[in-house]
Every structure is written in structure tokens, then in C-alpha cells.
Structure 1
Amino acid sequence: MTPHTAEKTSVTLLGLGAMGTALARTWLAAGHSLTVWNRTPVRAAALTAEGARAADSAAEAVAANTLIVVCLLDDSSVEEVLSGTGLAGKDLVNLTTSTPAQARARAEWARERGARYLDGGIMAVPPMIGVPEAGGYVFYSGSPELFERHQETLGVPAGTAYVGKDAGFAALHDVALLSAMYGMFAGAAHAFALIRKENIDPVSLAPLLVDWLVAMTPAVHQTADQLRSGDYTKGVVSDLAMQVAGTQTFLSTAEQQGVSPELLSPYFELMRRRLDEGSGEEGLTGVVDLLVR
């Protein structure tokens, strides 16, 4: 090491599934000293050949470094693996998919054991890790001091986005975005089902579908602005009354094409309920309030 070379943070990584292995390789490639552990030891073999040190137990791995990154199956796995390890004085970064409530409880659990805590929500699939142009990133929430301390190291595998001191906010942002994704997938599935029995190539429909969805995405900003202002009529072009009146065409087309309406019907029902409350001049933002219990 030269006087001009900053020492890179050593990392312990628990969990070597597809995501964990991708994370490990990016830290190794960037020159970080890495200690790894996995319940099935054979998964560490390839990484040790690339320079990682494999620990014989989770406790040994935790003892090796201050920065501990966890990427396991679920929240119960985190507790099972970390029970009996010495967490006092450790910086625990949990990248395991969880609910906001689980993340908040895990933060308190870590604090009681003397550890500092960050929760993370990975907005990427393994092939995107270590590929900046792929656009993957990780939401982080919890200790702002801890995030600042390790941001450079955490930013090696993917971009970082700190979303608040509340440890549950990373998981909440993660699930919010993924929920929107599944809604989009549901709409695309219905669209492809409509043409499935016709002489229409789905490959020819795909670019039309993508372009249309992209053209509609600015509506997300309008919804956010209306929710903030409380004025659900602001900027509305196609009001709720008109849109509800048109839903029968979608349902009838599905029936004629032999396609189940089960992906569309719940949303249409919410639109009708909002209209019944006398909100016909609004857009679709009022549906959000119907969903909040």
C-alpha cells in the first residue's frame, strides 16, 4: 500500500445465494478483504479461489470484521444465523428481504445486542450487481452515521439511496416499488392474454406495449402531486366518471376473447366505489384512499 492508497474496509458477508455471491465478487474485484460464510460451505469454494476467506461458522465470520453484511433467505434466518454471535460493536447491514415491521424489530434486536444497524432493500437482480450501467441500487434506512461511514463500501456492488432514519423505510420503499412492478406485470399479462388466440405475434405487440406504458408513467407524478395537495381534480384530463363508463368495454372484450377479467376487475371495482362517493370529477388518485384502511 502506498501513502496515496486508502485502506479499503474489510467486509464479512453471511449468505452466498445468487445475490450474496454477486455481492461478494464485486467486493473482491474492488480489492476489499472479504470473509464469507454460508450454511452450505461448498458455495464458498469458488469465492475462496478468488481471494475470499471462508469462515467455519457464522460466529467466526462475525468476529473477523466490524462491517457485517447479511443476505439470507428471510428474517427468521437472520435471527437463527446471528444468534450466538458476538454483535457488540459491530456494524450490521441487513440486505435480507423483509417487511417494514420486521426491519424495525430487527433494528431494536441489534441495538439490544450492542450493534449499530442499517436495513437494505435491493432494487436489482444478481446480474445487475457490479454493473453500474444496469441501474441497480439499494435502499438503506436506519443509522445515518452508519450509512455515511460505509457508503463508499456499500456502493461498490450497486448504487445507494438512503431513505431515512426509520429502519423500516428501506423495506417499505422496496415493497412499494415492487408492488407497482407486479401491477404493471398484471396489466401486461392481461394484454397478452387478449391476443393469445388471435393471429397476432406477441413479439410485435411488445414494443407497442412498452411505448404505451412509458408514455403513461408521468401519471405517477400527477398522482403524487394530487396526494400532497389534497386536490384530486388538479390537472385531470380523463375524469373518473368517464373512465368508469368505459370499463364495460374492457370487460366485454375480455369475455369475447375468452379471457378472465380477474386482473382488471378489482381495480375497476375500486373505481366504481370512488365514483359512488360522488368523486366523478376526480382522476384515479382517490383509489389510493380506498386502499388505506
Structure 2
Amino acid sequence: MGRTTVSVIGLGEMGRALAGAMVTAGHPTTVWNRSAAKADELVALGAQRAATVEEAVLASPLTLVCLLDYAVSGAVLRPAEGSLHGRTLVNLTNGTPAQAREAEAWATGHGASYLDGGIMAVPSTVATSRASVLYSGPKRHFDAHEDTLKALGAAKYLGVDAGMAALYDLALLSAMNVMFDGFFHSLAMATSHSEGSAAGFTDLLVPWLTNMSQVMHAFAADVDSDAEPVLAQGLDVVLASVRNMAHASRDAGVRADYFEQSAATLERQLAEGLTRYTAPDAVRRLRTSD
């Protein structure tokens, strides 16, 4: 079976993992990086080293870009803009939805087909069952290269708006970030006691969070529905719990900023006459325009 020729621009840890996955999958792969030595291991595996970005783009109908940010990717690609016509550019650089849309406009303005992507993996899990990559942009471009892109991990198409992959990527990362912030806060509390240990506490925490994560689907259904929410708690009960978490944190010598802010918001909602805590209300209160 024929293999698509692929170019990879950017050979940081993630870029090297992407290029390695393409080489391993049998796709003829051309690579470029500002520091040329980062390509050495890939060249030893069979990749071709391009001397310039333009040479890399011209080498393949499909080019993957994975750089620090959109400012860097724009600066790197600009010298090769005359070579983009008729080729597909898949930008896997982390950035915002607005930046993705701007990149699409620039690329299509030079005759390229464009997809934006978000990598939901760390370098060591690329090309494994634990990796997925989100894509957005015209569906025909995704369909044309889906089989090739699957070499990186599960390929998930989100829609025609080029900004969707970046939006979901950052939304997923925000959930991870807040989760880890909560984890570190809980460790600070648990280890404030002379008999507390991070490892022992984590043995209790992981099963608890795993069980609680099962409720997310029900919360999501409530957010999507126009019907009365199925899951609800008394706002006064939630406020009492948040106040207790704030007090316990302070008593343990741990900052309670998050809980104090949350309590202030709940107190304001009670003063406004709200009596129940639901997922749709929680989402609405986070939107600055509401």
C-alpha cells in the first residue's frame, strides 16, 4: 500500500515524536528544525533532513508544523509561503482559536489547504492508544489525510471552524490544570499533619476522583438540556461545605483563595434568591458575559 510523503517542521520533544511516528508507520518523512542536529536521530531512522523550510514544504504534499507558538510558526513558515500552493498544512502548534483562524486565512491566502490540530498526548504516548489528536478545518482536507494522521494517534475531527481544535485543546488542558491545582492543594492540606503522607493520601484520592468523574456525563447532559436539571444540591449546603474547606485550609496553613472566592460567589447567588446549585448555573457563572 502506498504511503503519503510527510514533512515535519519543528523538532522539539513533541515534533520528534510526531516525525518518529511517521517514519515508524512507513511514511517517507522529511524533517526540518532550526537546530539541525535535532534531526540526527530521525535521519538515522530513515528520515530526510531538509536544509530549509521551503525545501521541507516542497518535499511533501502534507506538512505537519509543531513549534512553540503561532508567532514562531508564522515567522518560520513565512519564507516558504510561495511553496504552499496546492499542499496541505496541518498546524499542531498550541495556541488560541483566534490564532488558528488567522493561520488558516494566511495559509489559504497562499493556496494551501489548512487543518488546525490539538495534540492530546505527551511525547512518550504519541502513536499509542493513549494518544489522540483533535482536528478542525474543512472536512475534505481531513478526509484526504485521515489515514496518514492516524499514525500519530486517534484522529478526532471536530468541525469546519479552524478554531475548534484549539478551543477544545485548551478547554481539555484547563480541566487538567485545575485538576492538578486541586491535587496539589489537597496534598498541602493532607501533609500538614505529622502523620500525613502524600503517597498514602493519593491512594485515597485517586479512587475518589475516579468515582466522582462518572458524574460528569450527567452534569453535561444537564448543561445541554433545556429541561429542569436532574442533579441539584441546596445552595446553602454547598456554601457550608465550601466555607469548611476554606477554614480547614487556613487552619492547615494552606492558602484558601479559591474557596474564599467561591464562597463569595455563592453568597451573592443566595442574596439574589437562588436556592439550588446545578451544573448549568455553575457554567453560567463562569461566563464573564452572564
- Normalising by structure 1, we get a TM-score of 0.93
Aligned to 1:291: 286
Which of 59, 63, 69 lines up with 2:64 in the alignment? 69
Aligned to 2:260: 265
Matched, 1:201 2:209: no
Local SS of the residue matching 1:93: strand
Q: Distance in 2 between matches of 1:285 and 1:183?
A: 19
Work out whether residues 66 and 92 of structure 2, in 8 Å CA contact, stay in contact via their aligned partners in 1. Answer: yes
Aligned to 1:101: 98
Q: Which amino acid aligns with 2:262?
A: Y
> Any runs of at least 4 consecutive aligned residues in structure 1 with deviations exceeding 6 A, and if so which?
none
Aligned to 1:139: 134
Local SS of the residue matching 1:216: helix
Q: Distance in 2 between matches of 1:105 and 1:278?
A: 44
Q: Deviations over 1:192-227 (max 9, x none)?
A: 111222111211111211111111113322322222
Q: Distance in 2 between matches of 1:230 and 1:214?
A: 28
Please report how far the alpha carbon of residue 25 of structure 1 lies from its aligned counterpart in structure 2 after TM superposition. 1.0
Aligned pairs for 1:39-78 within 5 A: 39-78=34-73
| CA root-mean-square deviation | 1.4
Q: Distance in 1 between matches of 2:258 and 2:199?
A: 22
Count, aligned residues: 285
Q: Distance in 2 between matches of 1:88 and 1:59?
A: 12
Q: Which amino acid aligns with 1:91?
A: T
Change (3 A) 1:284 1:269: farther
Work out whether residues 232 and 286 of structure 1, in 8 Å CA contact, stay in contact via their aligned partners in 2. Answer: no
Q: Deviations over 1:2-38 (max 9, x none)?
A: xxxx110000100000001011111111111000000
Aligned to 1:130: 127
Aligned to 1:219: 215
Change (3 A) 1:186 1:273: farther
Q: Distance in 2 between matches of 1:233 and 1:8?
A: 50
Which of 170, 178, 181 lines up with 1:186 in the alignment? 181
Change (3 A) 1:170 1:84: same
Q: Deviations over 1:58-92 (max 9, x none)?
A: 01111111101101110011111111211111101
Q: Which amino acid aligns with 2:96?
A: T
Q: Which amino acid aligns with 1:254?
A: S
Matched, 1:151 2:146: yes
Which ranges in structure 1 are unaligned for 5 or more consecutive residues?
A: 1-5
Please report how far the alpha carbon of residue 172 of structure 1 lies from its aligned counterpart in structure 2 after TM superposition. 0.4
Work out whether residues 98 and 163 of structure 2, in 8 Å CA contact, stay in contact via their aligned partners in 1. Answer: yes
Matched, 1:84 2:79: yes
Please report how far the alpha carbon of residue 145 of structure 1 lies from its aligned counterpart in structure 2 after TM superposition. 0.5
Please report how far the alpha carbon of residue 291 of structure 1 lies from its aligned counterpart in structure 2 after TM superposition. 1.8
Q: Which amino acid aligns with 1:234?
A: V
Work out whether residues 232 and 285 of structure 1, in 8 Å CA contact, stay in contact via their aligned partners in 2. Answer: no
Please report how far the alpha carbon of residue 284 of structure 1 lies from its aligned counterpart in structure 2 after TM superposition. 4.5
Which ranges in structure 2 are unaligned for 5 or more consecutive residues?
A: none
Q: Distance in 1 between matches of 2:212 and 2:167?
A: 24
Matched, 1:276 2:267: no
Q: Distance in 2 between matches of 1:114 and 1:276?
A: 57
Please report how far the alpha carbon of residue 234 of structure 1 lies from its aligned counterpart in structure 2 after TM superposition. 2.3
Q: Distance in 2 between matches of 1:185 and 1:270?
A: 23
Q: Distance in 1 between matches of 2:151 and 2:173?
A: 23
Aligned to 1:3: none
Give identity over the alignment, percent: 39
Q: Distance in 1 between matches of 2:40 and 2:279?
A: 53
Shifted more, 46-55 versus 196-205: the winner is 196-205
Work out whether residues 96 and 121 of structure 1, in 8 Å CA contact, stay in contact via their aligned partners in 2. Answer: yes
Q: Distance in 2 between matches of 1:75 and 1:217?
A: 33
Aligned to 2:206: 210
